[in-house]
Chains A and B, each alone.
Chain A
Amino acid sequence: MTGNRNPLINGLLKLHITLCLIFIFAPIAGSFVFSLNSDRFPSLPLGSFSTEWYRLIWEDPLVWAGFFNTLLVGACVAAIATLLGFGGAYTDFRYKFFGKPVYLALALLPPTIPVVIMGLAMLAFLSRVSLSGNVISVIIAHGVMCSPFAMAIIRLRLSQMDPDLEAAAWNLGGNEWVTMRHVIIPFTKPAIYAALFITMAVSFDEFAVAWFVSGLNETLPVKVLGFLQGQVSPRINAIGSLAFVSSISFIVIAQLLMRNPESKPS
């Protein structure tokens, strides 16, 4: 790969990547280190090794409630957003129609809206239709935010498909539904799983919108803010580390699924 490249450029690129990774991961690593530190305040030099803060959150029923809410919301959002995203992506793959660029822009728009505005708008709308302040409201709001991610992933996969494949299945005697089941879904399967995990991770980490619409059914990130407002506690570091491990696992699983060897374009 790097065969004929200028060594200076090569070195600079490596430095650039290293710096990027440091900026991304240093705070997370710091939080992880302090979560295992016995001192009450995150300062150097470190105190002794301690799992005290993990024990405290383990014993806190409010943290558990938040965790289960997050998990429930995440699972529902993954299912709903992936279904919607698949529909959107398949529509784009299969049909040509007037105004398609507008359709695509609108369908992929939600992640570009500032989350605070999105949260406020969701709150205003959901309270108008009496759906605010419970778990369903978070699911709806996150479903809207996550389906574009699912759509983008599945659309990418569909774009790798031989456009004749679907017609070939029809030609061999499968009607449109059967072909969906036997050709489109098997072909997009890695992307469908990837979409499930990525949308779950996005929902898992999302704070602002959940804060606006969740009411008493707080998800974990909302809970963390609650802690911060009350007191500075190293428990936040512990929760943060656990949340990071869960999210990054989802993303890694999604990545592994997307490079499924049999799905390589031949």
Chain B
Amino acid sequence: MLDTPIVHFDNVVKKFGSFTAVEKADFQIARGEFLAIMGSSGCGKTTTLRMLAGLEDPTEGNILLDGEKINGKPTWERDTPMVWQSLALFPFLTVQENVEFSLKMRKVPKGQRRERARKWLDRLGILEFADRNISQLSGGQRQRVALARSLVTEPKILLLDEPLSALDAHLKVRMQSVLSGLQKDLGITFVYVTHSMSEAFSMADRVVIMSRGKIEQIGTPEEIYREPRNRFVADFLGSSNVFDGSLKSSGNEVWQIETEHSSFTLKAPSEVQKTDGSPVAFAVSSENMSLAAIGTPWAGNSIEATVVGGEFAGASATVFLETDQGQELKVQKGHDELKTVDIRAGQKLLVHWLPEHCHVLPGE
């Protein structure tokens, strides 16, 4: 029993009329895992979560919770509490009554209800507000009430729909550590829907990236970051430069790729097989690119590009360049490294990187 995944999406499709919101979602969620589902708005991430909660019914396929098929089972018969983006706290009830709500629905006797609610309020550090009205609480306090209300039944799984989006940046970071701490202590499964990469990548064990109803990639944050599966993921992460070309020669050690710019050398990927002449796309992380003055001798890959702008916020700077062929490039470097090059707009520079920093996108 413990080996079965807590959740199994078995080829789940959701259509609203002729619009396909979720296309063949097929994945499993392990017990005790923190899974983030990430994508821009309208990508189907919330619909996926709502199907798990029982607020939408899949059009095709099955959803298994703890090995049991739950399609068609109404949400009030599942134990899949959700933390809502709007929080959806009951404004006519006190904090304590809000937290007691699901126990009341399960006909837990009054004394026990009170005790269990207070235990959770205490655990989340808001016991002193038990008798307040919701309208008297701050955003962060409301967040904690919403968490306590969902956790009071001690469910096996907790669903979170962009719960931090209404908080300011400072509180967001604090609540992130509260959430991941809570998840580790409780050992229950969290399914967390977000459009924010920093939230997903800092908290989750695994991340699902969705776009237009399709799952683009599932993996640990590190896997996704180092080895984006396709152009969408590489672009979505926003820190990679993607080049298109065709395979000129594939040796055991290195591949030569012919692009519109010039020929580039890659370390041969072990997991991708391609025949000579077939199209290849590869990504180079903006952190792995360096800048130098034109004419600097360089043994690896290099390309000439013109500076179009820069962002100098925080610990590192991002320089935006454009090649003669019109492709945009991003280079992210520490301020110290940039001191040696002239990065005024209009300046031509040499962008260079090592063959081992090229990642072939296997899904392209």
Chain A positions within 8 Å of B, measured between CB atoms, are: 162, 164-165, 167-175, 178, 182-183, 186-187, 189, 262-266
Report how far A195 CA is from B195 CA in the complex, Å: 43
Q: Is the CB of B92 within 8 A of A171?
A: no
Given A172-B76, A172-B105, 9 further pairs, Cβ under 8 A = A167-B55, A172-B150, A174-B105, A175-B76, A183-B90, A262-B92, A263-B92, A265-B91, A266-B135
A-B contact pairs, 26 of them (CB 8 A): A162-B86, A162-B88, A164-B85, A164-B88, A165-B90, A168-B88, A169-B101, A170-B75, A171-B54, A171-B55, A171-B75, A171-B81, A172-B76, A172-B102, A172-B149, A173-B76, A174-B76, A174-B101, A182-B101, A182-B105, A186-B90, A189-B92, A262-B133, A262-B135, A266-B91, A266-B134
- Min C-beta distance of B141 to chain A, whole Å: 12
Q: Is the CB of A262 within 8 A of B91?
A: yes
Contact with A along B70-105 (1 / 0, CB 8 A): 000011100111101110101111000000011011
Q: Is the CB of A170 within 8 A of B84?
A: no
In the complex, chain B residues whose CB is within 8 Å of the CB of A171: 53-55, 75-76, 80-82
Closest residue on chain A to residue B92 by CB atoms: A186
Report how far A189 CA is from B133 CA in the complex, Å: 17
In the complex, chain A residues whose CB is within 8 Å of the CB of B93: 186
Closest residue on chain A to residue B101 by CB atoms: A172
- Min C-beta distance of B86 to chain A, whole Å: 5
Q: Is B153 on the interface with A (CB-CB < 8 A)?
A: yes
Q: Is the CB of B90 within 8 A of A264?
A: no
Q: Is the CB of A165 within 8 A of B76?
A: no
Q: A164-B84, A164-B86, A266-B135 are in contact. Are A170 and B92 (CB under 8 A)?
A: no
Identify which of residues 106-147 in chain B touch chain A, using a CB-to-CB cut-off of 8 Å.
106, 133-135
In the complex, chain B residues whose CB is within 8 Å of the CB of A173: 76, 79, 102, 105-106, 153
Report how far A167 CA is from B81 CA in the complex, Å: 11
Identify which of residues 12-66 in chain B touch chain A, using a CB-to-CB cut-off of 8 Å.
53-55
In the complex, chain B residues whose CB is within 8 Å of the CB of A168: 82, 84, 88, 90
